Amino acid sequence: MEAIPVKKNQELEMTIVDLSHLGMGVAKIDGYPIFIENALPQEKVQVKIVKVGKKFGFGKMLSIIQTSPYRQTVENKDLIRTGIAPLSHLQYEQQLKFKQNQVENVLAKVAKMPEIHVEETIGSSFSFGYRNKAQIPVRKIDGILQTGFYRKNSHELVPLDHFYIQDPAIDAAIVIIREILQQFEVKAYNEREHSGFLRHIVIRRGSYSHEMMVVLVTRKKHFPQGEKIAQKIQEKLPEVVSVIQNINFKQTNVILGEEERLLLGRSFIYDQLFDKTFRISAKSFYQVNTPQAEVLYQKAFDLASLKQTDTVVDAYSGIGTIGLSLADKVAQVYGMEVTPQAVTDAQKNAKINKIDNAAYVVGKAETVMPKWKEEGIKPNVIFVDPPRKGLDQTFIEAACDMDPEKIVYISCNPATMARDLQIFADKGYYTDNIQPVDLFPQTHHVETVIALKKR
């Protein structure tokens, strides 16, 4: 075994050579990597080694000796400490380059397809204040109910009022709701003891509609003050059209529990995408950056070059954003999605927008797709928009066996997308081009879209 070239608590000067995929600066001694938060490539920094592992270590930056020309001032260091905005110290243009590089790296290393061309990342018109959703942990600090965010890799709450990347109206709402909860002496959840009551406040605000939903996530069902608190919230925040109690009694990191109780208004908000109206329930997925989601979807539609005679599959359909936005331009849309609430939303959304050529079913993509293949459904174009873990091999095989002209793949994780590209290649489907689109400015998250065709 080779000796590790550094010791814990050692202080030394290091040059940053790279950014990790999580946005940490990387420095090397004899090939041994040290990850350093808040450090940028080309910088010389004074570092204290805080953790030494077998294959890599972590350092804390004590000072910057030579500053990167691409560094920008961070308004609040907690944004990096908590991981809310791990790239906020890097100028936005360079963030876009970083994301393009990330995609190039996984293509070369994971997919072994370095020949695929990666386009420049399409930037977001809002690089701050863009998130339409917040999931805020609630804890007791010094006897008072507080809201904020966890320090990275921990469950220690850093109190925070201004999250910078969220819609400022959401930031303001959290402070008002927190004050109401304090007045009503609502008990905060204690994670270590799994005691107390209120775990999270989840807020969604329609980017265009400005309708607001407030979800109070509680450990127990019994909440006699619930309706009164909901009324008070609406009194102070007239945009609120929905207040929901969600009950999560499990000891888990998953935020929402199974059961819901409506405290005020309706169980969903409306928002607009392109020229259509969408209802969104608490458990349904909805892209957090609405205007940039439109840019992403438009790119996907352009790549698909749809025809009026097309049969389209909208896989991982959520509330039907993709299929319903293009339904007017094609003959028929079939969608599937695993969350029942989201499928109900998709079906209602078809009705609201007077779309009668789109059908949505509840089910896992990897189960539904082979069934549709057996039933003889013959899509010309398949859209897939899976979660971070990417596609299932069974799904890919069924999709390719349906012999579509195009498969448009929207991905929020370049690593699993690169893995899936190899399986598609085995089935004869390829792409020459990848388009990254930035939906999550100031964070390390990368979204991409591709069109796979038979060669």
Does residue 438 bind ligand SAH (CB under 6 A)? no
Does residue 338 bind ligand SAH (CB under 6 A)? yes
CB under 6 A: which stretch of 38-46, 77-85, 337-345, 420-428 binds ligand SAH?
337-345
Site for ligand SAH in 202-241 (CB under 6 A): none
Does residue 447 bind ligand SAH (CB under 6 A)? no
User: Minimal distance in Å, beta carbon 185 to ligand SAH?
Assistant: 36
User: Minimal distance in Å, beta carbon 258 to ligand SAH?
Assistant: 15
Residue 52: phi and psi, rounded to 5, are -125, 115
User: Minimal distance in Å, beta carbon 134 to ligand SAH?
Assistant: 18
Confirm or deny that 385 is annotated as ligand binding: yes
Choice between 79 and 368, CB closer to ligand SAH: 368
Binding mask 99-138 for ligand SAH (x = CB under 6 A): ----------------------------------------
Choice between 163 and 409, CB closer to ligand SAH: 409
Site for ligand SAH in 341-380 (CB under 6 A): 342, 364-366
User: Minimal distance in Å, beta carbon 211 to ligand SAH?
Assistant: 17
Does residue 398 bind ligand SAH (CB under 6 A)? no
Q: How many C-beta atoms surround the C-beta of residue 70 within 10 A? A: 18
Task: Kindly tell me which residue out of 337, 345, 420, 438 binds ligand SAH, with binding defined by CB under 6 A.
Answer: 337
* Residues binding ligand SAH: number (CB under 6 A): 19
Nearest residue to the partner ligand SAH, using Cβ: 318
Choice between 43 and 337, CB closer to ligand SAH: 337
User: Minimal distance in Å, beta carbon 44 to ligand SAH?
Assistant: 42
Residue 412 falls in the annotated catalytic set: yes
Which entry of 24, 412, 415, 437 is annotated as an active-site residue? Answer: 412
Confirm or deny that 337 is annotated as ligand binding: yes
Q: How many C-beta atoms surround the C-beta of residue 29 within 10 A? A: 14
C-alpha–C-alpha distance, residues 252 and 76, integer Å: 29
Confirm or deny that 287 is annotated as ligand binding: yes
C-alpha–C-alpha distance, residues 305 and 284, integer Å: 28
User: Minimal distance in Å, beta carbon 121 to ligand SAH?
Assistant: 19
Task: Kindly tell me which residue out of 53, 168, 387, 428 binds ligand SAH, with binding defined by CB under 6 A.
Answer: 387
Confirm or deny that 334 is annotated as ligand binding: no
Site for ligand SAH in 277-336 (CB under 6 A): 285-287, 316-318, 321-322, 336
Choice between 26 and 338, CB closer to ligand SAH: 338
User: Minimal distance in Å, beta carbon 124 to ligand SAH?
Assistant: 16
Buried b (16+ CB within 10 A) or exposed e, 218-245: bbeeebeebeebbebbbeebeebbbbbb
The residues annotated as belonging to the active site are 412
Binding residues for S-adenosyl-L-methionine: 287, 316, 337, 385
Binding residues: 287, 316, 337, 385
Residues engaged in binding ligand SAH (CB under 6 A): 285-287, 316-318, 321-322, 336-339, 342, 364-366, 385-387
